[in-house]
Each structure stands twice: as C-alpha cells, then as structure tokens.
Amino acid sequence: MFKVVTRGFSQEFERWTDALETANGLIPNCKGFFDEIRVLERGEVVWAYTRWHKYPQYVGPGTYNRLARRFLLENSLDPDAEAGEPALDSPTIASDDQAIFDKSPQNSSQE
C-alpha cells in the first residue's frame, strides 16, 4: 500500500507507520540538493522530503489529517505493534482510509 522511494532504495510497506519511520531514517542520507525521499500511497506521492525544504512536505489537500488518523488507528488498534505483527485486517482502518481516499471534488456537495 505504501512505498518509500529514493535514489538507490525502494521498499513497500503495509503500514503507514513503518513507511514513515523508514523515510525519516533515510533523511540523513539525503545530502544533495536534488536528492529526494518520497512515500507513495497507491502510486500517488503523499509525503516528500528534499533539501529545499526544512521539514518534510505532505502532498495534497487533507493528506496530513488522513495519515495522522491512520497513524493513530494503527497504533491504538494494534496491541501487537511492539512485536511487529500488524493488525491490518481491522475493518475500522480499512473503511476509514478507503472512504477518505475515494472522495473526489466532483462528488462533494456544493453550496
């Protein structure tokens, strides 16, 4: 579901928490101005770090809030998080994430 990509490194993750930890761990290796670390969700960039910005950037409207909620759900619903066994079969995470991801500007109500 999530993929961390940078020059010479690419790895896929099921959990947002694991992808974020890996991406943050790669920041010290991002030394050139044109080096970039990206986290992709379903092929779309949701998080990026470059030397041009002081802090990582969340890409897209509502991305930070959606991923923050996912982070909290992954860590609150997963009693085995310490053991490294993700509880991704949780219907709460799947339904909340899918409902938010599927919203599009064309389907929203206009006032």
pLDDT, one tens digit per residue, over 59-73 is: 999 999 999 999 999
Which residues of the chain fall short of a pLDDT of 70? Answer: 78-111
Give residue 77's pLDDT. Answer: 72
pLDDT digits (tens, 9 = 90+) for 34-49: 899 999 999 999 999 9
Q: 47: part of which helix (H) or strand (E)?
A: strand 44-50
pLDDT of 2: 96
Delimit the domains of the chain by residue range.
2-58, 63-102
Tell me the C-alpha distance between 14 and 41, whole Å.
Answer: 10
Enumerate helices (H) and strands (E) in the chain, giving the number of each.
Answer: 3, 5
Sequence-distant (≥ 6) Cβ neighbours of residue 107 within 8 angstroms: none
